[in-house]
Chains A and B, each alone.
Chain A
Amino acid sequence: MRNIKNWKFNWDKYGLFLLLIVLAIIVLIWNPRVFFRIGILSATLRLSAVVGIATIGEGLVLLVRGIDLSVGAVMGLVSISTAVMLNSYSIFTTVIILLLICCLIGLINGLFIVKGKIPAIITTLGMMWLLRGIAGSITNGRLIRITNKTFTNLSGYSFLGIIPYFFIGLLFLGLIVLFILNKLSIGRYIYAIGGNEEAAYYSGISVTKVKIIVFVIAAVMYGIAGIFLSSYIRSGMPFAAQGYEFRAITSAALGGIALSGGKGKLWKGILGAIILTFLYSFVTSLGISPYLQGIFEGSILILAVYLCQRD
C-alpha cells in the first residue's frame, strides 16, 4: 500500500512514451485516414531526420552546458551554398567542402566561447545573424532551384518503400554519437564537463579541447541536416530552416537532456525530435493557421522543460 501512495509519475523516464501514446490516440480518433497514408508518414519521417540530426548537435552542446543558437543559420547557409555549388561541382565535392566550412564555423564558435570566454548564447546568437547575412548576400536573398536530379532524388528513396534513407541516416549518425558518448573517454569527459566543469579541469581533462570538439561536431551535424533539407525542398534558400535552433532545443528538452548540462540521454533527444515532428505534422494536417502554430510550439517547449527537467 505504501508503494502506491508514494508512487509518482516519473516524467523523466516515461514522459516521452506517454506523449507518444497520447499523440497516437488523438490522431487515431481525429483522422486516421489522412495521417496514416504512407506518403505523409514517410514525409514526416524524412523531416524528423532533419530535425533529429540537428538535435544530435544541439544535444551534445547542451550536455557540455552550452547552448547553440546558430543551428538554423548554419542550415540556411549550407542550403543556399549547396544549390550554388551543385551547378559547378559534383555532389561529393560539394558535401565535403560544405562540411569543412561547418567545421570552421564550429571551431570559431568554440574558440570564442572557450578561449574568448564569451557566453555561448551570445557567441552563437552573433554567429546566427552573421551566417544569415552571408547566406542572404550570396544570392541577394533569392531562392535557387537545384537542378541536379541525383541530389534531389536522394530524399525520395526509401527502404522497402516505407522508411526513407534519410531516416536511416539519422539512426546511423545517432549510433555513431552514442558510441562516442558511451564507449570512449571523450564521452565521459563531455558528461563530466557538463556536470562540473571545475571538477573536470581539476581531474586533468582538457576542457578547452573537449568543448571545441563538441561545437565542431555540432556544426557538422547542422551541416548534414542542412544538406538533407535542401535535397528535400529541392532548392537552396538562404532563409531556410528558420527556427531550427528552437526545434532542436525543444526536442532535446523533450528527451530530458538537462539545459543545465551533464544530464540526459542523447537517444531520447532523437526520439524527442521524432515525436516533435509528428506533432508538427499532425497540427499542420489539421489545417491550423501557421500563426496559431507558434502558440503551440512555444507551449510545447515550456511544458517539455517543465515536465521533463525536474529532478
Chain B
Amino acid sequence: MEKILELKNITKNFGNTRALNEISFSLDKGKIYSLVGENGAGKSTLAKIISGGLKSDNGEIYYKGQIVINHSPRKAKELGIFIVHQWGDLAPNLSVLDNIFLGNEERGFIGILNRNYMQEKAHKILKEFDLNLDLNLPVEELSPAYQQIVTITKALLVKNEFLIIDEGGSSFDKKELVELFVVLRKLKCAGVTIIYISHLLDNVMELSDEIIVLRNGNLIKIVKTKNITLDELASLVISYEVKTEVKNFAPLKKGKLEKLKVDSLMWKGGNASYSFAIKESEILGITGPVGSGKSELLRTIMGLNPKEKGTIWINREKIIKNSPFRMIRKKVAFVPESRFAEGLVMLRSMEENITLPSLWQWYKFLLNKKELIKKSNQAADVARIMRSSIQDRMSYLSGGNQQKTVIAKWLTSDYELFLLDEAFIGIDIGAKSDIGEVIRRLSKNSCSIILVSTEFTDLIGLVHRLFVMVNHKIVAELQGEEITNKNIIKYYQSTIK
C-alpha cells in the first residue's frame, strides 16, 4: 500500500495543557480512517495541524513521502488536503453551482462569469464520482447531508486527494447519514483518503476501514474496524479519570416540592412534545448531540422560542404567556448558550452586567451605585470571578471569567429556577469546577437547576437526573448511579436506529 500521510512525534501545548503528546502514525492512500475520542481528546487539534490551521510545537508531517515545511492552510490547499467543517462554509442563498465555485469562479472576457464552463466542469466532477446534485437549487433548500456533500464537491474541484471531515453527520438522521456514507465510499474508490472525525461510535464502525483512538492527547491505538466490537471501542475511548468525580455527588432528599412542571410542551415547528417535572434542589442534566433539540427545549420554557402547545407550571402556578421579562419575574434565571451574542454587554462594566436583570426589583426610581457595586461584588465572589475591579469592562476579562459573569447575573437575588444552556462551553477546567461548585451550592439552597450540555462528561457527578436527547426525543432518563459515561454513550448509539 502506498503511504500518503505520515506523522512523526507531533506535540502541541496550549499554555500548560498538553493537547497532543508525541503522536506518530502513517496512513495509507485510499482508505477511510476515523478519528475518535472524547471531547478534549485532541481530535480537532490534530485535524487542524494536518490541515495547516495550527502549527505543532514539535514533530514532522510527511505527505507522499515528502516532509512538509511551513505548513499553512494555503500550503494544505496546494498539497490537496481539504477540511470539511461541521457547519460547511456555504452561502445558503446561492445555488449549488455558485457555492461549488465560490472563490474559484471561472471568469471570461472582462471578468464575466463563464457559467457554461462552470456547469460543464461541475457535471464532469459529479459524473466522475457518481454524485447526484441539482446544481441550480439554492443550498438552503438541501438537507444537511446534501449541504455537506456540496462542501465535499467543492473540495473535489481542485483535485484534493486527502479529505478531513469534522463531525460529519452528527446531527443527521439515518437516511441522510446513509447518503453521506455512500458518497464517502465512492470517493474512497476513486483513491481519495479520508479522515472522518466523530464522537458517534456506531457511525464510525459502519463507515471506516481503520479507527484512530485518541485519549487525553495520546494516541491509544489504531485498529482495523473488522477486528473490534462496539463495546471494545467504547472502552478504548473512555478515560477512567472521570469515574472518580462521581464521589462528590449528594443524592436528592425525598419529599421535595415541585418547582417546574412541563406538560406536552412543543415548540413552533417542532415534531415532539415533552412532559417532565423538576423538584426543589434537583439538578437535571440534558445531553445529546448538536442539533438534538435540547437547547430549543430550554429556550421554549424561557419563552425565547415560540410555543406551539403545552403548559408550563412554576411553583404550581400556570404560566399563561412566557417571555424572558415574565419568567424573570417568576424568579427564573437563564444562562444562554453564547455569552457573546446573548449573555453579556461586552462594552459595559461587570457591575452593570451582573445587576442588569435585577434592577427592576431593587429600584423604583433612583439607582444606588454604592449598593449596586456591593451587590455585584458579592455575586462575583460567589462565582469566584478573578477581577481587578468590578467596574472593568467585560471585554477585558478572560473567557472563563466572562462565562462566570453570565452566571453571576443570577446570583444577586433570590432566583429559584436556573436554566443553563451550555454553561461549560469554551472554558478551562478550573472555571468548570468553580461553576460546578456554584451549581451545587444553589441546589443546597433549594434552587432547581436544568443543565443543558453537549459535553456529557461535564454533567457526570453533578446532576441528580439526566435526560439523553437524540433527534428531538428524550431517549433515556438516567438516575443517580446510572449516570455513567458508558451508559450515556450507549444511548447516544441509539441515535440512528
Contacts and interface: CB of A to CB of B under 8 A. Distances in A.
B394 to A, nearest CB: 9
B361 to A, nearest CB: 10
Given A196-B346, A201-B324, A202-B324, A188 B359 contact: yes
Contacts of B348: 191-192, 195, 262
A203 B367 contact: no
B324 A184 contact: no
A185 B344 CA distance: 17
B3 interface: no
Given A202-B304, A203-B409, A195 B345 contact: yes
A206 B304 CA distance: 13
A262 B345 contact: yes
A265 interface: no
Given A196-B346, A262-B345, A204 B367 contact: no
A199 interface: yes
B323 to A, nearest CB: 8
A189 B336 CA distance: 19
Contacts of A199: 341-345, 356
Q: How large is the interface on B (under 10, 10 to 19, 20 to 34, 35 or more residues)?
A: 20 to 34
A204 B329 contact: yes
A200 interface: yes
Given A191-B348, A201-B324, A184 B342 contact: no
B334 A200 contact: no
A173 interface: no
A196 B345 CA distance: 5
B40 to A, nearest CB: 28
Contact of B328 (A183, A192, A204): A204
Give the interface residue-count category, chain A: 20 to 34
B239 to A, nearest CB: 35
A286 B456 CA distance: 73
A15 to B, nearest CB: 19
B242 interface: no
Nearest to B328: A204
A192 B345 contact: yes
B366 interface: yes
Contacts of A206: 325
Contact of A198 (B342, B359, B360): B342
A205 interface: yes
Contacts of B363: 185
A204 B346 contact: no
Contact of A185 (B329, B334, B360): B360
- Taking each of A200, A201, A203, A206, which has the highest tally of chain B beta carbons within 10 Å of its own beta carbon? A203
A202 B342 CA distance: 7
Most A CB atoms within 10 A — which of B324, B329, B343, B360?
A: B324
Contact of A192 (B324, B336, B356): B356
A189 B367 CA distance: 12
B347 A184 contact: no
B365 interface: yes
B343 A202 contact: yes
Given A203-B357, A203-B409, A204-B360, A184 B344 contact: no
12 contacts: A188-B359, A188-B367, A191-B345, A195-B348, A196-B345, A199-B356, A202-B304, A203-B328, A204-B325, A205-B357, A262-B347, A263-B347
Given A198-B341, A202-B342, 18 more contacts: A184-B366, A185-B360, A185-B363, A185-B367, A191-B352, A192-B348, A192-B352, A196-B341, A196-B342, A196-B345, A196-B346, A196-B347, A199-B342, A199-B345, A202-B336, A203-B324, A204-B328, A262-B347
Interface of A: 183-185, 188-189, 191-192, 195-196, 198-206, 262-263
